[in-house]
Structure 1
Amino acid sequence: MGVTHNATASKFLILILLSIFSGGLTADNISFEVRTPPVVNVGETFRLEYVLKGARDGLNFRVPRFSDNFEIKSGPHISNNASHSGTNYEVWKSYLYIVEAKEKGTFSMPVSTVEIEGVEYKTVEVQLKVLAEGENSEHFQYDIDAFLRTQVSRTEIYEDEAIVLSCQLYTKVPILEVKDTDYPVLADFEVGGKPFYDHEGIPVFRQEKYNGGLYSVSDLRKIVIYPNRVGKLTIPEVQAAFTFDKRALDEPRKGLYPGEKRGEGVDKLLRSEPISVRVVTLPKNKPDDFSDAIGKFKLRSEIKGSQVKVGELFALKLTIEGIGDLGLASAPILDLPNGLEIYDLKSEDYSFFGDSGIQSDKTFGYLIIAKESGTYRIPPARFVYLDPESGTYNVLTSSEYTIAVAEHKIKGTVVASRY
């Protein structure tokens, strides 16, 4: 029984394999085509390939007849190929010639025929444009799916509000070089000192879907800008020149053949579309202690030294963080009781580009000195900012602290504690 079962299974498997392999031999699935780049230069070698798809073999392949405008460097290189993807199985046969263009002009590539089971298949006539040696071919028929896109983190902003301006390259073709970039003068904006990003060398790419297609996307530049005036402001186009990998534009390579030169780059100049930003005035009823910060923020506080002596310094640290620029934000208002004085105030700010715009973190460090002994209540500090989405002024407050200050044994001495 076991032998009979194995034999039956083997026959069944053979029938499945035969049905798979024979699927590519139906007349509907067979085609014969010629592949060539649309444009080359005089003296350049290129691949001219006749491809029989849907069959592993053919009879009476007619060798193409080349004119004196071309020189065959090698070929035909004949190969049988197959690919398998899921349930799809494809076979094809390739007749490859390495050819050098000798004269400038537009020429028809030789037509060829091949016979399969008594049926003749013929390639269609295709045109090849040959440019002069060294002539730039960027404007001739290469369909490079790539574009520049400029974006801002917000298109409607308040006066003095910082936004992120980014220039991005979207491409489906690998690039060999960023040749040149021309960023416009932003007459209606001031450019912030930080954060600031400019690509160096070959940009780093990520994958992103756009308009239904999957692109490799790279940030060429990111800067922070501030509007100079109220109204509709325009950000002009950006233009940049790139060298794209010509090998990716031609048919996929299957190795180098004798007489064939390695692929070179194709230059193309890209331009972005101008974009507009609408700038409006600040909402009315602005508080007197408005910090000039616009965004969404949180406030946290920390004190070091809740028990000190007269003449000693203790530290209060207030940290504001969130989405928005804090570079020019004023310090939170701290109303100290009599007997306590601010000895020194320092600030440190850190910002970077986040997914929602500028991500900021600013710390204000207050060094406070007690002039008299006693118990002091340090009320909450107050920080006022504008929420651009709601158009309202919001108030953040820190924690309240109680400080016990004792008499110092040696009067008149100021001792600084570590912060």
Structure 2
Amino acid sequence: MKTQKFHRYLCRLLATACLLLVGGTGIVRAQADVEFDIDAPLKAAEGQPFKIAFTVSTQKSDISDARFSLPDIGGLSVISGPVRSVGVFMSDVNGVSQTRNTVTYTYWVKAERTGKIDIPAATVTVGGETYKTRPTAIESLSAEQARQQSGSSGAGGGNASDVGFEPVGKTRLASDDILLRIEVDKTDVYRGEPVVASLRIYTQVNIAGFENIKYPALNGFWAQEMDLSGQGDSRATLGGKVYHTQILRQWLLYPQRTGTIEIEQAQFTAIAQLVTQMPATGSPYDLFYGGAPQIKNVSARLVSPVVKIRVKELPRPQPDDFTGAVGQFELTGVATGDRFAANTAGSITLRLSGIGNFPLVEAPRITLPAAFEQFDMKTNERLVNTARGTTGEKTFEYPFIARAEGDYTIPGVRFSYFDPSTGKYNTLTTPDFPIRILRDEGNGASGLGMVSGVTKEDLQMLGSDIRFIRMGDPRLVRQGGAFLWSWGWFASVFVLAAAFVGLLVYLQKSIRERADIVRVKTKKANKVALRRLKRAKGYMNAGKESAFFEELLRALWGYMGDKLAIDVANLTKERVLGELVGRRGMDEEQAREFLNLISECEFAQYSPAAGVPMDKAYNAALDLIGRFENKI
């Protein structure tokens, strides 16, 4: 009996630790110095006690003056608490020491009903500042639900009280324990209106990691990934169940076409951690280990449903100066001055600010007088992606140089955009830019071609109306005497065509000959044999008899093999004699003379003293190869 109670206590203790893997934590960092969080289980059995802990930590040396206030939690009754505990945590990272003081308020509670139970934000006051936890929720299970999810029925029976102070982790992974969803803030938008798409995971089990990750392609959108720093996990209710949830990736999307655009499926493989019971073996070790929970990893394939976005076309008619800007904008313009000396640089700067599809906004068009030389526009931007769209400002600078003196007025710049909140187009206009260009006191010393005394649009660029007289040899060609279509042209074409045909025939013949390996070897037999005889003569002059006869035999056998197209494996004296006399019509006496020379060389190779002299064998081989070359 005592052993069973110990087993039950150990199971409850380990189950509590396993549940903490998926337990929720709502942390609030109002300042970098103070943290306030709540630790509560994701699920609890109705009527069974479980623990909720509120912890405040700070780097201050003393937080004994912290004043904690528990919110009114409907659906939970407090069994005991708060139990106040104080701790000090010290760390040393890369030589930097840090000390944090903590105060924890622990309550033992039990659920009075089933279903979702919301826990409002708790408050604590430290040093005159008030901090709150993030609101969270737990799911209260009936006794039957707790038994099914704890796996007690599959582990030998039991009742609801066996679930423990907190429900043990799951032994089996249900289809709705882990869900992957793509959530959008809007499903009906105008083209160019921002949509925030969040890839979110919902889980009721601990997840060790992900594999085989495939994000949606986001075709049809201009997509910008958003920063998720500072966003932690939270709790949410989906389908009547409480889940831990976290955003894995978030995009700011701008639709680029109208109609229904689909956000494709995201596909993940999640590694879930489940709890199994260690089987009892009947040994004394079961007192400590038998029936204790174990953690195992289980792969779960996750696929998010397809999300459809209905994109509407922008209303018509559209303003003439509309270039696709959607959002809410403001436009200001300023010139670097209203007086310039001729041939000096100036600029007009337009500043577009607000919120909308800034990355797709084109620069406003500006019209300068003909006497102004305009240079490439410069663009600067300071933009931030938010849930409402891209916010910030874009600056467009238009540099110019005025070439003629006088008074000018640059018309104000118009910029039209579509406001999706009102469904209407708005047009922004800057004031006109009056500019006076003064005489160039340097009298054109800058070399930019200023003509003094000519004002405004009277200035024309020299060379654009009258071309300068061309000097030098004009290289005139007498009419009717062109080379094209002349007799010389026809003769050249004929010669080139004939040369091309001849080259083509030669190349085809060469390719056919090279493809016939036997013929190539036959034609080169004499050349190869003479090259080997040359090496044999070198050995003869050096007095190396063995090397001489070996090279001479290689020349004789190689010549006959190549000339008669006989491979080395079938190259024998009988085969050579039959081929020369029977098929090639050679005189048998000459054929036997060639074979006798081969026999004498083979004998002399191993018995130099009794063999044929080297010079005699060399001359005989040279003579025989020459005679055979003319007859075979």
TM bucket normalised to smaller: 0.5 to 0.7
Determine the structure 1 residue equivalent to 2:188.
156
Q: CA deviation at 1:351?
A: 4.2
| Aligned position for 1:238 | 266
Amino acid aligned to 1:336: L
Q: Percent of aligned pairs with the same residue?
A: 26
| 1:77-88 matches, cutoff 5 A | 84-85=81-82
The structural deviation recorded for 1:311 is: 0.9
The answer on 1:270 being equivalent to 2:302 is: yes
Aligned match of 2:214: 182
- 1:204 CA drift (Å): 5.6
Structure with more of its chain in helix, by fraction:
2
Task: Note the 1:100-119 alignment, pairs <5 A.
Answer: 108-109=155-156
Cα deviation, 1:254-297, whole Å, max 9, x if unaligned, reads xxx97689855554333323222112222111122211112221
Q: Distance in 2 between matches of 1:88 and 1:261?
A: 26
CA distance in 2, matches of 1:366, 1:290: 20
Code of the aligned partner of 2:225: F
> What is the Cα deviation at residue 83 of structure 1?
6.2
Q: CA deviation at 1:354?
A: 0.3
Which aligned pairs between 1:286-301 and structure 2 lie closer than 5 A? Answer: 286-301=318-333
Structure 2: distance between partners of 1:150 and 1:123: 37
Q: What is the match of residue 491 of structure 2? A: none
> Relative to 1, partners in 2 of residues 1:315 and 1:227: Cα closer, same or farther, differing over 3 Å?
closer
Specify the code of the residue in structure 1 equivalent to 2:156: M
Where 1:332 maps in the other structure, the secondary structure is coil
What amino acid is the match of 1:357?
Answer: G
How many Å separate the matches in 2 of 1:265 and 1:275? 30
CA deviation digits over 1:300-342, x for unaligned, max 9?
3333244321111112221223322233332213233454342
State yes or no: 1:220 paired with 2:220: no
Q: How many residues align?
A: 298
Q: Is 1:205 the equivalent of 2:252?
A: no
Q: What is the CA distance between 1:356 and its match in structure 2?
A: 0.9
The CA deviation string for residues 372-417 of structure 1, in whole angstroms up to 9 with x for no partner, is 22343333211111112222111112244333322222233279xx
Q: Once the two structures are superposed, what CA deviation does each residue of 1:139-162 show, in whole Å capped at 9, x if it has no partner? A: 924697543232335322334556
Instruction: Point out the more displaced range, 335-344 or 316-325.
Output: 335-344
Select which of 379, 390, 394 maps to 1:362. 394
Which of 404, 416, 431 is 1:372 aligned to?
Answer: 404
For residues 398 and 123 of structure 1, do their structure 2 counterparts lie closer, same or farther at Cα, with a shift above 3 Å needed?
Answer: closer
Kindly tell me: are residues 172 and 138 of structure 1, through their superposed partners in 2, closer, same or farther at Cα, counting changes over 3 Å? closer
Distance 2:170 2:106 in 1: 39
**How far apart in 1 are the matches of 2:251 and 2:328?**
21
Partner residue, 2:489: none
1:195 is matched by which residue type in structure 2?
A: Q
Please tell me whether residue 387 in structure 1 is matched to residue 419 in structure 2: yes
8 Å Cα contact 2:202-2:243 kept in structure 1: no
Task: Tell me the CA shift for residue 195 of structure 1.
Answer: 2.6
Aligned to 1:280: 312
Long gaps (5+) in structure 1: 1-30, 41-52, 55-81, 92-105, 112-121, 127-136, 251-256
Per the normalisation by structure 1, the TM-score is 0.56
TM-score by length of 2: 0.39
* Counterpart in the other structure of 2:366: 334
Cα distance per residue 1:336-381 (max 9 Å; x no partner): 3454342221334454420213335332110022122234333321
Report the AA paired with residue 430 of structure 2. Answer: S
2:576 counterpart residue number: none
Structure-2 change in CA distance of 1:283 and 1:191 (3 Å):
closer
Instruction: Specify whether residues 403 and 173 from structure 1 end up closer, same or farther in structure 2 by C-alpha distance, changes over 3 A only.
Output: farther
Following superposition, the deviation at residue 166 of structure 1 comes to 3.2
In structure 2, the gaps of 5 or more residues are 1-7, 19-47, 50-78, 83-104, 111-152, 164-168, 278-286, 449-632
Alignment of 1:347-358 (within 5 A): 347-349=379-381, 351-358=383-390
The 3 A distance-change label for structure 1 pair 174 and 336 is: farther
Matched, 1:343 2:378: no
Secondary structure of 2:365's partner?
Answer: coil
* Contact 2:200/2:245 (8 A) holds in 1: no
TM-align CA RMSD: 4.6
